[in-house]
Structure 1
């Protein structure tokens, strides 16, 4: 309970600068509740003071007052809803931004062990639930509680016995609705999860339709989809069954209570202890409280779930480092491109140790091929230099400065990492190239594209650099995606280029062209190329062979070829594993 209150307090802190809107909105909701609660009293006065006595002008006067109160109720309803929704949207905007910034600050290890779908769900579904909680659930909770209190106050003033019937009815209806919410919410959570599973299966099937058709496995995919669809069907049927059982029960309880009130109220009228107007007011109060009582049960069940959603977002925020860079981080001025690994150890979160006391020095301007069997730690070297991961022991230095002590913005300008499968965003080619430097001039973008040998292709397109290339660059070939990624990296004029298997997904002709162009691109830069392809040897003046997280061979291609070791074996086979 104390943790829930703590989460609620932290959530409400996001209303800063808009707390006046929130408090004013709640005050207006109280006025809305009161105007609803006073209407049955006005109806009582109209009946007892006007209709039953024949004083119709009194009845007309109260009718006009009821109309005025109804208009005020509508105004209060609009005002309260507007202010609370505005305050809620403000709070969730900042909460969502804090969560998104935290995700950006997280190290790569966080993404290795966290599903992207979970993060997307927290940024979208959880924030939407919190929005509903702050704007709708809080409003309904305050409205319902105050309306019930106002109604009970006026009911007690009229007849204690009938008020006792109303109290018992309220208790039973709230218990029923709370039980219903408790039973149906977990099922609806499963429905939402299963809907996500079906969306995932559908997305994967559509994205991989070529592979599915090529392998003729349509029936297998349909079977998997059918299984998940049946699960969703079963969950919806179960939810419908519970809704049918509990959904109408409160109306039955209210109807029974109103019948009892009508019976005892009729006897009280005949005994002259209750007026017709008072009985009418009682029955009107019961009808007025039907929806608030039903909403109250749902609201009580939803509060904890909304706080749980907030807790999941706070977990993302709190688990991220407060700052990307340490306070004493420095800028690299006039970087030379020197790299050094000093006794570097690294174990991934899975428990797999990939580097074991690695020591390595790379001179400025060297072009190095890092090769070896799969899983030997080649790509890990590049990711450590780019500071996607940090060593558990040892140091990775650029220009004699530990990368952990270099400002991230400075490191990214000095070191450009190009992954095996570069990600191309569903934006224009100009925006994709200028991703790291949005304010780059068109001349800078074209210059980078020319160096990457992709300008002529872009210029040949009808819309040129404004061509939108589709999600993940689906309209581009593998070689074109690599060149776009190169242009993107070269725009910052880095001193160090890290290429992670740049030709692994290219055909022989495209590979040959890219290797030829890379000779010019890498000129004057420190370059580390991870690859198992022999074609990459032409670009380098040094080869490093890794096995099980350590360097087993290091030298020029000519030296290692004559040595008769693993690199020589690779040359004889045409690459590792025949590649």
Structure 2
């Protein structure tokens, strides 16, 4: 659904900088009033020249050009003053537009970070990038033109028509009507351009998404020798984008001349009717010259509007796409209640969770209880909702039914939806199987969980995650850049660094969602042993590896969206055939 007045909503951000906005507007007003004054002076100067007053021969035969020099100095002075003011207004408008662009991008990034995972699953990375880059840039381009087209143009038209009407009412009325007609044609044509640019924006989204997937999935592409097909697919997306862009440009280029021709008729009217007024002696030659200069100014200004018509149409479409994102309501909002003090356990009471598209129910009537400090393994077939259950703990996803409670019998239990979100995510960490490291140093990546951590604490976290050898192999130690997503490291090394980052945050509840899958059995045993040695840490391990499960106090079996069985490994092995099949054990 199109959002109302999206470009005006972007312009409304100027209210946050009122003094600079007012100063810029005053400068543009002064520049355009100066233009009208300059044209008026030219007319009076021409009158004096034509009347022979500018240069007068004295009785002694010498020439007195003092009046001519007066007009020359005055017109040049006004032109220089306008030039200085024009420069200052232009620079300040650029600074203001860049400031507005910065604030707009900050809001987009904040909104993207605040939106729930379901929104990110439904909208690709390319779409998010396009909103922040192409769409924001197009809005910025329109804001730069805003001052000239929406501040200068009305002033120029009013000043020009006012001066023409001062000479003679009909001399100003006809150009005013023709200018209004030309602007109306522009407005009608802009609607079509906006719809064309929506198609251009959607095509650009697909280009950005294809590009981001091609870069992010380069290993898979190379592994399956898909380079040629990926390049062909990308070229096809770029070609589709180019076709839409050409259609928009062709429409604009073919429609712009009509309004310009309409406004240019005012020039003809002034020449014909002005000559008639001069012949009747109702205006002088200077006034006719001034009127023609004014008409030329109007034509050039309308041509300027034609040149930026596409800019404003693009910006309106882009602003609409930006506000679609900014107006999206976060599905997960922070509560106000603090977390209970002391070690935390967790309880699920008849929890149900549906798919992001509102389709089938993945978890249904799921109930479990994990005591503070307990180590529990969660097993289940692929697609049963194990990772979704893990996402419930820090509220990356919310329950559709039932309750998820954190706390203990001693300190009390709290529904996660009532808890302060920032505090919840500081004390409850989920480490996924897919390791993500930022293109920064090792120390910077680790300190994401604890910004104030000392180097000694970083080393301790690395030791607990069995990542000492990773540090030893890095040429600059903690200050070694890791590259994009830790591309220089192996899968097991990345997993251990992610574990070290989570441990540095000292969470009360730690969930490992197949986060040790790339580790060998010795490293895994060492990591889990170090975590269990931490006093009070509740550990939920999602895994199908027998070596991992044997380290747990209890095992929970997730089947058909609910906890189907619970007990020790030996108990489930003895009584549950589904559990034996998952582990590939023949009970005999």
Q: Structure 2 matches for 1:263-278, cutoff 5 A? A: 263-278=272-287
Find 1:434's aligned residue among 422, 440, 447. 447
Residue aligning to 1:41: 40
1:205, 1:330 → 2: CA distance? Answer: 43
Residue aligning to 2:375: 367
Shift in alpha-carbon separation, 1:256–1:225, aligned structure 2, 3 A: same
Residues 345, 356 of structure 1: 8 Å contact kept: yes
Shift in alpha-carbon separation, 1:83–1:429, aligned structure 2, 3 A: same
1:225, 1:436 → 2: CA distance? Answer: 38
Look up the SS of the partner of 2:72 in the other structure.
Answer: helix
Residue aligning to 1:577: none
1:235, 1:162 → 2: CA distance? Answer: 44
Residue aligning to 1:561: 573
Look up the SS of the partner of 1:411 in the other structure.
Answer: helix
Number of aligned positions between the proteins: 566
2:100, 2:249 → 1: CA distance? Answer: 34
Find 1:76's aligned residue among 74, 85, 100. 85
Residue aligning to 2:61: none
Matched, 1:20 2:27: no
Shift in alpha-carbon separation, 1:99–1:191, aligned structure 2, 3 A: closer
Matched, 1:343 2:350: yes
Shift in alpha-carbon separation, 1:564–1:322, aligned structure 2, 3 A: closer
Q: Structure 2 matches for 1:225-304, cutoff 5 A? A: 225-253=234-262, 257-296=266-305
Deviation at 1:95, TM superposition (A): 4.6
Look up the SS of the partner of 2:505 in the other structure.
Answer: coil
Find 1:529's aligned residue among 527, 541, 555. 541
2:104, 2:252 → 1: CA distance? Answer: 33
Deviation at 1:142, TM superposition (A): 1.7
Find 2:505's aligned residue among 489, 492, 507. 492
Residue aligning to 1:377: 385
1:448, 1:217 → 2: CA distance? Answer: 40
When the two chains are superposed, the root-mean-square deviation of aligned CA atoms in Å is 3.2
2:135, 2:109 → 1: CA distance? Answer: 13
1:303, 1:252 → 2: CA distance? Answer: 21
Shift in alpha-carbon separation, 1:113–1:200, aligned structure 2, 3 A: closer
Look up the SS of the partner of 1:280 in the other structure.
Answer: helix
Q: Structure 2 matches for 1:146-157, cutoff 5 A? A: 146-157=155-166
Matched, 1:483 2:496: yes
TM-score normalised by the chain length of structure 2: 0.86
Look up the SS of the partner of 1:539 in the other structure.
Answer: coil
2:572, 2:225 → 1: CA distance? Answer: 46
2:200, 2:317 → 1: CA distance? Answer: 18
Residues 384, 558 of structure 2: 8 Å contact kept: yes
Deviation at 1:141, TM superposition (A): 0.9
Stretch of structure 1 that moved more, 309-318 or 29-38: 309-318
Stretch of structure 1 that moved more, 558-567 or 91-100: 91-100
Residues 180, 242 of structure 1: 8 Å contact kept: no
CA offsets 1:503-543 (integer angstroms, 9 cap, x no match): 44x3xxx4334323223233233221112333322322322
Residues 44, 277 of structure 1: 8 Å contact kept: yes
CA offsets 1:430-465 (integer angstroms, 9 cap, x no match): 111111211211111111111112233223322211
Deviation at 1:226, TM superposition (A): 3.5
Shift in alpha-carbon separation, 1:477–1:121, aligned structure 2, 3 A: same
2:193, 2:507 → 1: CA distance? Answer: 57
Matched, 1:204 2:179: no
Residue aligning to 2:113: 104
Deviation at 1:295, TM superposition (A): 4.0
Look up the SS of the partner of 1:523 in the other structure.
Answer: helix
Residues 141, 311 of structure 2: 8 Å contact kept: no
Residues 152, 163 of structure 1: 8 Å contact kept: yes
Stretches of structure 2 lacking an aligned partner (at least 5 in a row): 56-64, 408-412
Look up the SS of the partner of 2:362 in the other structure.
Answer: strand
Residues 51, 59 of structure 1: 8 Å contact kept: no
Find 2:473's aligned residue among 449, 460, 473. 460
Shift in alpha-carbon separation, 1:52–1:539, aligned structure 2, 3 A: farther
Deviation at 1:216, TM superposition (A): 3.7
Find 1:550's aligned residue among 549, 562, 565. 562
Residue aligning to 1:470: 483
Stretch of structure 1 that moved more, 164-173 or 562-571: 164-173
Shift in alpha-carbon separation, 1:131–1:445, aligned structure 2, 3 A: same
Deviation at 1:20, TM superposition (A): 2.1
Stretches of structure 1 lacking an aligned partner (at least 5 in a row): 575-579
Residue aligning to 1:388: 396
1:204, 1:31 → 2: CA distance? Answer: 52
Deviation at 1:51, TM superposition (A): 4.5
Look up the SS of the partner of 2:520 in the other structure.
Answer: helix
Find 1:190's aligned residue among 199, 204, 215. 199
Shift in alpha-carbon separation, 1:222–1:92, aligned structure 2, 3 A: closer
Residues 379, 500 of structure 1: 8 Å contact kept: yes
Residues 108, 388 of structure 1: 8 Å contact kept: yes
Stretch of structure 1 that moved more, 448-457 or 233-242: 233-242
1:185, 1:59 → 2: CA distance? Answer: 52
2:251, 2:111 → 1: CA distance? Answer: 40
2:325, 2:388 → 1: CA distance? Answer: 25
